[in-house]
Amino acid sequence: MKISSAAAPMLFAFTLLAAAGAAVVQANAAEARLSDVGYINAARCAGLAEGAGLASVSLQRNAETQSAGREDLALFMADEARTTAAHQARISPYWHAQAIAAVRGACQADTLAARAGAHNNSLGGAR
């Protein structure tokens, strides 16, 4: 098929736009997945909410959906972080209050960042 010289620049521009659009879609899909550290932090936040007696469906759902395709070590560390955080939130009134503050502060910020497609690489919470 022969393309006229007048249509060639339009075809080239369309091809570039289609390739750029596909690259943006792939980049956004890749960014929606948390890093392993972010996944462990999400599990920790779910444990804090559980230990503090706060029903946080979004934190639990985030931790569950992010578990797909993880290495065994990341899954193990996330489970340990969740269990330890839940226990810590039950130790004393002080740690209970700290857990509530973390769930309502840094953990919520991390959940919102994960929904926006940002990578969370900090164990300390919000950036």
pLDDT in tens, 118-127: 444 444 444 3
Say how far apart CA 121 and CA 127 lie, in whole Å.
9
Token pair of 14 as six digits: 């369309």
Cα 45 to Cα 111: distance, rounded to the nearest angstrom = 9
The reply to whether 94 falls in a domain is yes
Residue 15 within a domain: yes
- Is residue 61 a part of any domain in this protein? yes
State which residues form the domain around 52: 8-127
Residue 33 lies in a domain: yes
Number of C-beta neighbours around residue 111 at 10 A: 21
Give the pLDDT score at 116: 67
Find the angle CA(76)-CA(81)-CA(64) to the nearest 5 degrees: 70
Residue 70 inside a domain? The answer is: yes
* 1 domain residue, yes or no: no
Higher pLDDT, 115 or 12: 115
> Does any domain span residue 3?
no
Q: What is the pTM of this model?
A: 0.62
Percent of the chain with pLDDT over 90: 29
Mean pLDDT for the stretch of residues 46-62: 82
Number of domains in the chain: 1
Q: Is residue 106 part of a domain?
A: yes
